[in-house]
Amino acid sequence: MSIHTDSMELLEEIYHCCKTNQSFNLSQDYLFDLLPNKCHDLEMQVDYLRDSGYVSDFAPTCGFPISLKITSKGIMAIENVSTPVATSNVTNIYGSNFGIAGNNNSSNTVNNTFNYSNLQNIIDNSPYSDNEKQMLLNELKPLYDRIELGAPLEKGMLSSISDKIKDYQPLLGAVLSSLTTFLTTPK
């Protein structure tokens, strides 16, 4: 058998032992009674499980050279629990990214989940003055109305907005995310 297979069988034993006891322990006498090659195999399996994050040391200084407890990763492996994968609409933007400077700006990931209410929350929680907040909301409202309707953008709309919000860097990501989703979504 392979080290992985043997280690996973040992992990299952550790799992069942930890369900009834606090830890999995093997005494010095037990290890002395094993044949040298079996003892070496056991140590390799324990090292494999420890290095993989399936188990951690419990109390090896209390007379048990092997004293382990199972980790949450080990429990998930035995119980065949998969970690959920978050899904969202993600777009990679390549090229110049409005103020992102550096040699590695070729693969910024933007999460495209912003709508007008999200933008309102960003603006409301921003440190800008009330006049600036109102100006930003007034400038962006026509754009988001058209996006929500799925209507084409009017000529000059984007340049007008970009002139107004270029000094508000935190908003650029949100607006760019919304625009990217709108412009790249098939109609």
What pLDDT does 1 receive?
67
Amino acid at 42: L
On whether both 48 and 111 belong to a single domain, the answer is no
Q: Which residues have CB under 8 Å from 99's CB, separation 6+?
A: 169, 172
**Residue pair 68/57 in contact by the 8 Å Cβ criterion:** yes
On whether both 145 and 174 belong to a single domain, the answer is yes
> Is position 83 within any domain?
no
On whether both 71 and 99 belong to a single domain, the answer is no
On whether both 98 and 24 belong to a single domain, the answer is no
Joined tokens for residue 98: 């409005």
Q: Where is the domain boundary, 45, 78, 111?
A: 78
On whether both 120 and 40 belong to a single domain, the answer is no
> Is position 84 within any domain?
no
CA dihedral of 134, 139, 141, 147, whole degrees rounded to 10? -150
Write the pLDDT tens digit of every residue in 95-151: 444 444 444 444 444 444 457 777 788 888 878 888 888 888 888 888 888 888 878
On whether both 39 and 124 belong to a single domain, the answer is no
Q: Where is the domain boundary, 78, 107, 138?
A: 78
Residue with tokens 């043997």: 6
On whether both 100 and 70 belong to a single domain, the answer is no
Q: Quick check: pTM over 0.75?
A: no
> Is position 85 within any domain?
no
Write the pLDDT tens digit of every residue in 7-66: 889 889 988 888 888 888 888 888 888 888 888 888 899 899 999 999 988 876 665 678
CA distance 174 to 180: 10
Q: Where is the domain boundary, 52, 78, 104?
A: 78
What pLDDT does 111 receive?
46
On whether both 32 and 103 belong to a single domain, the answer is no
Angle, alpha carbons 165-171-174 (nearest 5°): 125
> Is position 179 within any domain?
yes
Number of domains observed in the structure of the chain: 2
